[in-house]
Chains A and B, each alone.
Chain A
Amino acid sequence: MREVLHIDWTRCDGRGLCTELLPTLLGRDDWGYPLAMQAAGGDPSNVVIDFQHSEAAADAVKLCPKMALALAYEADQADETW
């Protein structure tokens, strides 16, 4: 299982709180929107969160002014092959 941060683009307004809290995982485009640096399965809406960023990701979910973030657990590729 791996933790994934999901970005809801219909809600996101690029306010920049998540990119400050997760600077190594999320970049920012010219319009302020977050860009996943390690997109899960090539999908920029889902950011893989490793253990050391778990707390910061939870803060980002709580503090997002547009409530555009959600954390979920999904089976990673290794699990799927088994």
Chain B
Amino acid sequence: MDNTLWALGRVSGIVSLILFTGTVVLGILTRSGRPLLSIPRYSLTLIHRNFALLATIFLALHVGTLVLDSFAKLTVADVVVPFLGSYRPFWQGLGTVAFDLVVAVVVTSLLRRRIGVRAFRAVHWFTYAMWPIALAHALGNGTDGTSKFFLMLAICSLISVGAALVWRFSTNFLETAKTRQEELQ
């Protein structure tokens, strides 16, 4: 049973990271206001949301199994309070910080219509901090963090998010960017 929890904890962390990478890229695509091939904008918004919720479920599985696992020696406090862990407290603490940020982003997203656009967006920006923190946690704390497979995955993830970010800050990012700029000239 111990081995099962440990294995589940490790693999769910990796799956969660892959899904969060997809979520960030989809979020940036959603923000551009562009459809993707034949996928309309409203579908992309829903896919972005569902990726995020699925990633969060795997994150809950990652944290939950490792709290129950006797080898990981995680306490309930470690789930929310960073840098108190017994094994590599700094790298584990980064995971806790990322987890707290995910909780904040998910809760404010679900309550978006109640708390308003400004509060929602302010908290949502923390995703850009959460994602690299989570990746650093995986590399520094993960049992598979330095394996060839995981390093390849990390590089691919970095390239995906990095490329999406470069596009995000380019002048023609918005679908209507060209028309709106012409109007100003």
Residue B145 lies at the interface, judged by CB distance under 8 Å to chain A: no
Interface string of B19-46 (1 = CB under 8 A from A): 0000000000011010100001110011
Please report which residues of chain A, range 31-82, place their CB below 8 angstroms from some CB of chain B when the two chains form the complex: 31-32, 59-60, 62-63, 65-67
**Chain A residues positioned under 8 Å from B42 (CB to CB):** 17, 20-21, 59-60, 63
Range for the number of chain A residues in contact with chain B: 10 to 19
Assess the B179–A15 pair: CB atoms within 8 A. Answer: no
Main secondary structure on chain A at its contact with chain B? loop
In angstroms, how far is the closest chain B Cβ from the Cβ of A23?
10
Contact A32:B117 (CB < 8 A) given known A14-B33, A16-B41: no
17 chain-A/chain-B pairs, Cβ below 8 angstroms: A15-B41, A16-B41, A16-B175, A17-B42, A20-B35, A20-B41, A21-B42, A31-B176, A31-B183, A32-B175, A32-B179, A60-B42, A63-B42, A63-B45, A65-B31, A67-B113, A67-B116
By a beta-carbon cutoff of 8 Å, the part of chain A in contact with chain B is 11, 13-17, 20-21, 30-32, 59-60, 62-63, 65-67
